Amino acid sequence: MEWQFSADTVPSSFVTEAQARSVLGKPPATGAWRDGDPVGSRRFLDVGPLRFEAGGSLGAVRLAFETWGELSPSGHNAVLVLHALTGDSHLVGAAGDGHVTAGWWGGIVGPGLAIDTDRWFVVAPNMLGGCQGSTGPASLAPDGSEWGTRFPYLTIRDQVAAQRAFSDRLGIDRWAAVIGGSMGGMHALEWAIGAPERVARLAILAAPPVTTADQIALNSVQIEAIRSDPLFRSGDYYDADDGDGPTRGLALARRMALLNYRSPAELNLRFDRGWQSEISPLGAGGRFAVESYLDFHGNKFTRRFDANSYVTLVQAMDSHDVGRGRGGVPAALSRVTARTVVVGIDSDRLFPVEGQRRIAEHLRHNIDGADPVVLESGYGHDGFLIETAAIGAQLGRLLD
């Protein structure tokens, strides 16, 4: 298939001078939001102590979140939107104090959009273990030092348990819809399986029923890239005398991940064999345009994320298996009572459509029967973030 890319969503093959300047200079040891930083649009909710599947616990857990729209008097219009691995609670809004980047789904959520905030009360929490205001490895432990690698091992189910406690504190007994893409889709599935009475509608976007061996292998090399950075210091880098953190390792992990988030068709079309240097591509001293692209995004990422948090969240993704302890995937999915839409992307090489087919065929209330909606997109896995018209249309069907 020949992909058609929009000029509005595909930037130049080359990193501009302005883009390059935005990541020049030494990055911080961690890109985590820390207490004392500008709050921005964040709000915070303490959800109490939690115990986790692997035996660890936290005596106090806080989730950062943002909201849009107004909760109706009946409380029946609340929509929970769950972010992907490197997302956060800043679903909509400009970059600025407290928010390094603009909202990641501004084309989907807002007045008159697919998730219409004139109708729905939208809530987006930063997941447990994250680094943008929720309790995570960069948070202070009771001894006054950052948790670092002492932070408990989390599973997807642990993170959803924190979200359920969060919902209880908000006073929301039943969500009108739970919507998630990628890692957020894993959380959404767990919501609908573990607490079906609390989910009226469900949207699973580009997420699998289990994390496969292939996906775990891809995750493992990203984790090793971080841990191999000499400045990782066994996870104790927050107060390094020289201020250096494992930013090279974190940037490398991000570069590896981007190769799975985008499709070969897009990279080949955007960059071809473009050479970003006046030196001959047969000589030394320059670099290919695609290398410049990966460098830029890797370096940019270190300014908004934390290395320990990345490891914690990737390991949580590895735990994902809706059938674990429930008699297998079909039995687990049969518990879902929510009206559901399942969306896959045909060029997704991170979580291929096969996974969405497996989910859809075992749901009783999928609005498309035993099949997922398969979007044709050249953007790969990131299509659920980029293809706002197509994704919005599917969410509109669900929320109609």
Separation of CA 370 from chain center: 26
First to last CA, the chain: 32
**Catalytic residue selected from 41, 139, 167, 182:** 182
Distance CA 308, CA 238 (A): 10
Backbone phi, psi, residue 203, to 5°: -125, 120
Q: Residue 60: which of 197, 152, 126 has the closest Cα? A: 152
Which residue has 């909760």 as its token pair? 71
Nearest of 347, 351, 345 to residue 390 by alpha carbon:
345
- Which pair of tokens denotes residue 382? 């990131």
Residues 244 and 231: their CA atoms lie apart, in Å, by 7
Q: Which helix (H) or strand (E) holds 226?
A: helix 213-227
Q: Which of these is catalytic: 83, 297, 320, 381? A: 381
In terms of C-beta distances under 8 Å and separation of at least 24 residues, what long-range contacts does 389-392 make, across chains too?
A: 391/108, 391/114, 391/205, 391/343, 392/107, 392/108, 392/113, 392/114
Active-site residue, 97 included: no
Active-site residue, 368 included: no
Q: Which residue type sits at 219?
A: N
292 is an active site residue: no
Catalytic residue among 229, 321, 348, 382: 348
Q: What does the alpha-carbon distance between residue 144 and residue 121 come to, in Å, rounded to a whole number? A: 36
What tokens does 7 get? 């000029």
Q: Would you name the residues annotated as active-site residues?
A: 182, 348, 381
